[in-house]
Chains A and B, each alone.
Chain A
């Protein structure tokens, strides 16, 4: 029987699990399998790199080889997992070197999420980009730089599909870097899923002051090539030139591998409070996981929490479990910072599906009140973001 721990995925969830595990266990062989290079980077920095003038290569905080050496991990980069045999406890992986089989004692799935794509017409529909990794960001960056180096070229212009968290963060970052930004969204306001209408309005105003133009209640009909640039046709019939079109309509957990292996999958890979999937010795965390530790009124299997802080908590609990001390994951309140410097926001969401309503609680503060009138979540805007700790104490347990 193999004694190895195998981690699939080299994002924050995969590497943090390896790092936390090594703090507790220095001898168990650890393998990390990843389809990309395995370089470690802070994914949240992808949406604030432009204004800081940071280049894609500068975003790598630690090269893969250095990570592997420091953590004493055998890295299988540019390698895809093709199948998991849950009974034999093996997985088949394929790289340029061919196919091989690896045996595991415990397996951790940290496969992340894939960008959701909405169908678009036109001869440049495949030029629509999503930025879900450093590689994606490098492609986007190169395209905008190419636009900048052409003499006589008008101001660089980017059209963003989606006015959610990622769409708004990129809009802020690009506008601050001097790019003309247009945001198209079928909804009626930015961050509609997270904010009360007044906070959305304040964010919209702040981004518009930076030059961002919003088109709500609108969609992209087609993207075509036109004179070396892209031409976007909106549902209204209006055409907009663009150097790049970014799709930021959301993420969907990458569950293909888990599903093929027969693991229980709902919106993501279902895990119990010990982060174990429906199969023994297989665990999951990060954007691919649906946590029993994050109860939801919408699903008996809990929620996904595609943010940094939940990944850190999950990795710590899982590392302890894998090192021999079964540790149930308990999430504390995890307010999310929205990186829109034009109007900084902190959002602490109430439990998914909880009935209630937003109520203003002072300038730049809103509370989500449940049916009994108790605060269950909050939104802080501007200078009030400094009140996150004080506000967290006000929430009903």
Chain B
């Protein structure tokens, strides 16, 4: 399980935790996050979401 940071706003996506409030179950890999998902803090689309692993 990896953790990613949105380079625009610093929002952290943790694969282990998922994002249940957006319908993304715990354990969902970044690659499996739907393309329609946008960063909840800055609204950047997933395709624009440049991530860095931490």
Chain A contact residues, CB within 8 Å of chain B: 12, 16, 40, 42, 44-45, 48, 52, 61-62, 308-309, 312-313, 334, 337, 386-389
B9 pairs with A61, CB closer than 8 A: no
Q: List 17 A-B contacts (CB under 8 A).
A: A42-B5, A42-B7, A42-B8, A42-B10, A44-B9, A45-B5, A61-B50, A61-B52, A62-B50, A308-B8, A308-B9, A309-B43, A312-B8, A334-B43, A386-B20, A389-B21, A389-B22
Q: Compute the total of residue contacts between A and B using a CB distance below 8 Å.
A: 43
| Interface check B40, CB cutoff 8 A | yes
Whole-angstrom distance between the Cβ of B39 and the nearest chain A Cβ? 9
1/0 contact trace for B16-42 toward A, CB 8 Å? 000011100000000000000000111
Query: Cα distance A388–B41 when bound, in Å?
Result: 11
Query: Cα distance A337–B21 when bound, in Å?
Result: 14
Provide the residues of chain B in CB contact with A308, threshold 8 Å. Answer: 8-9, 41-42
Provide the residues of chain A in CB contact with B6, threshold 8 Å. Answer: 42
A309 pairs with B21, CB closer than 8 A: no
B41 pairs with A386, CB closer than 8 A: no
A387 pairs with B43, CB closer than 8 A: no
Q: Using A61-B52, A389-B21 as known contacts, say yes or no to A40 and B7 having CB atoms under 8 A apart.
A: yes
Q: Which one, B10, B41, B43, B52, contacts A313 given CB within 8 A?
A: B43
Provide the residues of chain B in CB contact with A334, threshold 8 Å. Answer: 43
B8 pairs with A16, CB closer than 8 A: yes
A45 pairs with B8, CB closer than 8 A: no
B7 pairs with A61, CB closer than 8 A: yes
Provide the residues of chain A in CB contact with B7, threshold 8 Å. Answer: 40, 42, 61-62
Provide the residues of chain A in CB contact with B5, threshold 8 Å. Answer: 42, 45
Shortest Cβ distance from B50 into A: residue: A61
Provide the residues of chain B in CB contact with A309, threshold 8 Å. Answer: 41-43
Provide the residues of chain B in CB contact with A312, threshold 8 Å. Answer: 8, 42-44
Provide the residues of chain B in CB contact with A44, threshold 8 Å. Answer: 9-10, 41
B21 pairs with A45, CB closer than 8 A: no
B43 pairs with A45, CB closer than 8 A: no
Whole-angstrom distance between the Cβ of A160 and the nearest chain B Cβ? 20
CB-based closest 10 A-B pairs: A45-B10, A386-B21, A61-B7, A42-B10, A308-B42, A44-B10, A308-B9, A309-B43, A312-B43, A44-B9
Whole-angstrom distance between the Cβ of A329 and the nearest chain B Cβ? 13
